[in-house]
Structure formats: C-alpha cells, structure tokens
Amino acid sequence: MLAGSLPGPAVSTRVVAPTAATLALAAQRLRAGELVAFPTETVYGLGADAGNADAVRRIFAAKGRPSDHPVIVHLGDVGQVERWAREFPEGARRLASTFWPGPLTLILPRAAHVGDAVTGGQDNVGLRVPAHPVAKALLAAFAGLGGSGIAAPSANRFGHVSPTTAQHVEDDLGEAVAMILDGGACAVGIESTIVAFTDSSPVLLRPGGIGVAELARVLGCAPATPGADAPRASGTLASHYAPRAPVRLVAPQVLLQEIRRHAALGEPVAVLARTVVRPAGFGGKWIEAPADAPSYARDLYANLRALDVPDIAAMLIEAVPEDDAWLAVRDRLARAAHYRDG
C-alpha cells in the first residue's frame, strides 16, 4: 500500500487468479475432498471430486441444498462419457459432438459405480464438457492427479440466483468454499441447456445456453418438454433463481404506469428496463438491460443481484419478447417472479 493511502475493502484470500500454480493447488484441494469454485462459460460452479461421496456431500452443506438433488459431473472431453454413463445414445452423441465443449448438459443412464451423492439416488447422471478455459485447465490438472469428473452445481446458496462473477460466489458462500478461481464474468450468463436421454425420445429439462432451434437442427426434431414423471431437476422448482425482493414482470406498455402507481403510494421500486426509457424524476435504482437475448442473458443475474436492494417494495422487470430466442431468459425471469408471488 502507498504511504498515506487508505486501505480498500478487504479482498478475500479465497479468490485467486488462475495461474499454473493456483490451478495445480485447486486440483490438489479437489483431490483432498475440498470444495473449489470455478468459472464456466455459463455460471460459476461449486466443484467437488465426483468420485468422492463425502466431498460431494459437502457441496450440499455449503449450498444449503437438499441432499437428494443431483449434481452435474463436468468432464474434460467427450471420451470420458463412457466412464460415467452406461449408454450414450446416438442423438446424445450428435449433440455432444456439435455443442461440446459448451453450455449443454446431457442426462444419461448412469454407470454402475456412480454414487447416489452425485445422482440424488436416480438411475441417471448429468454430464457436461464446459468450454471455459479455466474450467478446462482445472479439469486437465485434476485428471493429472488421477481425478475424472468434477461434480458442480451453480455456486450459489440454494434458491438464490446463480453467480456469474467470483465476487458473487464469495458473497453467497464465503468460507464454505476453500478456493474461488476468478475467471472474470461468465459469457453465457445463464445455466446450460439440459437434455435427458433416459426415455425413448430426448426431453428438454431446462432451456439454456443452447437454443431449442439449434437442438432441433441436430436432432432432426425438437426435444419434448417434460412430463410429470421426468427426472427431478432442482432448477425446475418454481422458486428457484430468485432474488430476495418481490419480483414482478411488467409489459413494456404499462411499465411507466406501474412505476407511477408505486410512486403515488410512496413505495420505492427498482427497475430492470429494456426498451422503456427512465422517466424524469425517477429516484430508485434503474438498470437498462441489453436489447438482444444473448447479451440480456449474460448480464441477467448480475442485474438481478444489483437490483436486489434492501427495502424496495418490488423489483419491476420489463417483460421480454415471446419468441424462441428469449425462451431461456423468460424461464429464468418467470422463476424469479414466482418466488414471492406464488
């Protein structure tokens, strides 16, 4: 520190820049059964050695997540799938060869050795080959120590929005995690698309970074959407991905009217706008989100965190377009809004 300068905010020693040395240390910690948070192109993951049931159980304690929820196993390359899955159907292979490494998770029948801690006791396992260079480097260092998959849910407290920066992870999990590799802000910003191949035809369990049209192009038809007996996914709980403040989705043409109504009641609100222009005299927090779906998704969770200020009556979110390009964003916004409304 320069003489006379004031100390800045405390920087956690858990948050480290990825270097050959810190990646090697992170891989060692994983092999020792500790938790390491790392960036992926979608959101940050809270990693544990997928082959170590005690380590995987620590994830649930750190997140405050029910222990029967399955976690995704992250792999370095598609060649490792057969180690974790007993079947790798043709459609799943085609998706993997097109979209991996990338924001796609495949649910496949699990191999015999895959533990209940990873699968939540189900007969299938979620697998993903991430594209982020830090995730890839970590998986390579981990493989160098004899590890295979890294089990990792999003690195947030259960029910909170996923983290897209190292600081979000630190804010949510703090000392519950041994180390947080800082890879900057995530490029996709919302979680991977999940497609299950546990039935006769593929089922879309969660829309995400890969769009339905892209899946359909490779599969020859769009995947089905889940029925009541589909495998359980915690991201499909209605209350998931929720900020603390009550969230309401408001059509663009009535947003200004809603803001005026709250103002007349003396109620402070925060606004996530997209096309609507901030009215003169609005004193609350106002964020103008990007106009296109990929950029909107990239910034979404950081925006929800930034707007989640104490003592607001509501977070008003300008509704987004109804077309397929916005499917995953609409899914996450609906979940955020459902939290207090239902």
Q: Calculate the CA 318 to chain-centre distance.
A: 22
Please identify, using beta-carbon distances, which residue of 128 and 168 lies nearer to ligand TXA. 128
Q: Rounded to the nearest whole angstrom, what is the least distance from the CB of residue 235 to ligand TXA in the complex?
A: 3
Of Mg ion, ligand TXA, none, which one sits near residue 81, judging by CB under 5 to 8 A according to partner kind? none
Of ligand TXA, Mg ion, none, which one sits near residue 284, judging by CB under 5 to 8 A according to partner kind? none
Stretch that binds Mg ion, among 154-162, 202-210, 269-277, 327-335 (CB under 5 A): 154-162
Q: How many other C-beta atoms are found inside a 10 Å radius of the C-beta of residue 150?
A: 29
Please identify, using beta-carbon distances, which residue of 128 and 335 lies nearer to ligand TXA. 128
Q: How many other C-beta atoms are found inside a 10 Å radius of the C-beta of residue 253?
A: 10
Cβ-in-10-Å burial (0-12, 13-18, 19+) of 38 comes to buried
Of ligand TXA, Mg ion, none, which one sits near residue 91, judging by CB under 5 to 8 A according to partner kind? none
Residues 237 and 281 sit within 8 Å (Cβ to Cβ): no
Please identify, using beta-carbon distances, which residue of 154 and 192 lies nearer to Mg ion. 154
Of Mg ion, ligand TXA, none, which one sits near residue 65, judging by CB under 5 to 8 A according to partner kind? none
Question: What Å distances lie between residue 110 and 56, 89, 247, CA to CA?
Answer: 16, 13, 38
| 154 contributes a contact to Mg ion by CB under 5 A | yes
Q: Rounded to the nearest whole angstrom, what is the least distance from the CB of residue 262 to ligand TXA in the complex?
A: 33
Q: Rounded to the nearest whole angstrom, what is the least distance from the CB of residue 210 to Mg ion in the complex?
A: 17
Separation between Cα atoms, residue 338 and residue 207, nearest integer Å:
17
Please identify, using beta-carbon distances, which residue of 42 and 80 lies nearer to ligand TXA. 42
Q: Rounded to the nearest whole angstrom, what is the least distance from the CB of residue 59 to ligand TXA in the complex?
A: 9
Q: Rounded to the nearest whole angstrom, what is the least distance from the CB of residue 122 to ligand TXA in the complex?
A: 5
Of ligand TXA, Mg ion, none, which one sits near residue 249, judging by CB under 5 to 8 A according to partner kind? none
Residues 202 and 105 sit within 8 Å (Cβ to Cβ): no
User: DSSP string spanning 136-147?
Assistant: HHHHHHHHHTT-
In three-state form (DSSP H/G/I as H, E/B as E, the rest C), the secondary structure along 41-84 is CCCCEEEEECCCHHHHHHHHHHHCCCCCCCCEEECCCHHHHHHH
Please identify, using beta-carbon distances, which residue of 56 and 141 lies nearer to Mg ion. 56
Separation between Cα atoms, residue 205 and residue 231, nearest integer Å:
8
Of Mg ion, ligand TXA, none, which one sits near residue 335, judging by CB under 5 to 8 A according to partner kind? none
Of ligand TXA, Mg ion, none, which one sits near residue 245, judging by CB under 5 to 8 A according to partner kind? none
Q: Rounded to the nearest whole angstrom, what is the least distance from the CB of residue 73 to ligand TXA in the complex?
A: 8
DSSP at 6:
P
Please identify, using beta-carbon distances, which residue of 23 and 107 lies nearer to ligand TXA. 107
Of ligand TXA, Mg ion, none, which one sits near residue 126, judging by CB under 5 to 8 A according to partner kind? ligand TXA
Please identify, using beta-carbon distances, which residue of 52 and 154 lies nearer to Mg ion. 154
Residues 155 and 35 sit within 8 Å (Cβ to Cβ): no
Give the residue at shortest CB distance from Mg ion. Answer: 154
How wide is the angle at C-alpha 277 spanned by C-alphas 273 and 279, nearest 5°? 110
Q: Rounded to the nearest whole angstrom, what is the least distance from the CB of residue 120 to ligand TXA in the complex?
A: 7
Dihedrals φ, ψ of 126, to 5°? -95, 130
Q: Rounded to the nearest whole angstrom, what is the least distance from the CB of residue 335 to Mg ion in the complex?
A: 11
Question: What Å distances lie between residue 60 and 64, 90, 314, 335, CA to CA?
Answer: 6, 33, 30, 21
Please identify, using beta-carbon distances, which residue of 22 and 154 lies nearer to Mg ion. 154
**For residue 311, what are its two tokens?**
């003592």
Residues that bind ligand TXA (CB under 6 A): 40, 42-43, 45, 69-72, 103, 105, 107, 119, 122, 124-126, 128, 152-154, 191-192, 194, 231, 233-235
Question: What Å distances lie between residue 195 and 208, 209, 240, 264, CA to CA?
Answer: 10, 12, 19, 47
Which residues lie near Mg ion (CB under 5 A)? 154
